[in-house]
Amino acid sequence: MEISFKHGKVLFINEISTSYEAMCGRSVRVIGRLMHYNFSTSLGMIEYKSEFFPVDFSLLDQFSFKENSLLQIIGEIDSTSKALKIDTHPIPSGALILKARVVRNIDGMDTALYEQAVDIRRKFEDQMHSYSFSTTTTSTS
């Protein structure tokens, strides 16, 4: 049986939080500071620029990250099947949660430079998409 995963689209937490229907089931790559982690439930809460997002770390074999570490997480967006509470953050049933499959510590990364790189990449991808769309349209005319 072959298992394949889509690449994680680089997003920021605020971009996930604002588009519920479009996000569910998508593979994403986000960064955030680990604010809370519960070893018994494998649930945690990350924060980036005052936006919080719940993460399910149960797919990981080991969890060796410390609270307040800056993490990059690749995983799938899902919805919770029941109401949860992560530290002081209540998570209602049906809310979005990130099911982490790859996590790495990125403490020391320049987040301002990272944001600039993401912005430049998005502009480049938009230009490439526009270019490929225009050449496809032109060649079929």
Residue 134: per-residue pLDDT: 61
Residue 99: per-residue pLDDT: 96
> Which residue ranges of the chain lie beneath pLDDT 70?
1-5, 18-19, 132-141
Closest by Cα among 50, 32, 56 to 105? 32
% of the chain residues with pLDDT over 90: 64
pTM tops 0.75, yes or no: yes
pLDDT digits 0-9 by tens, 91-119: 998 899 999 999 999 999 999 999 999 99
Q: How far apart are the first and last CA of the chain?
A: 42
Give the C-alpha distances (Å, rounded to integers) separating 124 from 58, 114, 130, 141: 35, 15, 10, 26
Going along the chain, which residue ranges are E strands? 9-10, 27-38, 43-48, 51-56, 70-79, 84-86, 89-91, 96-105
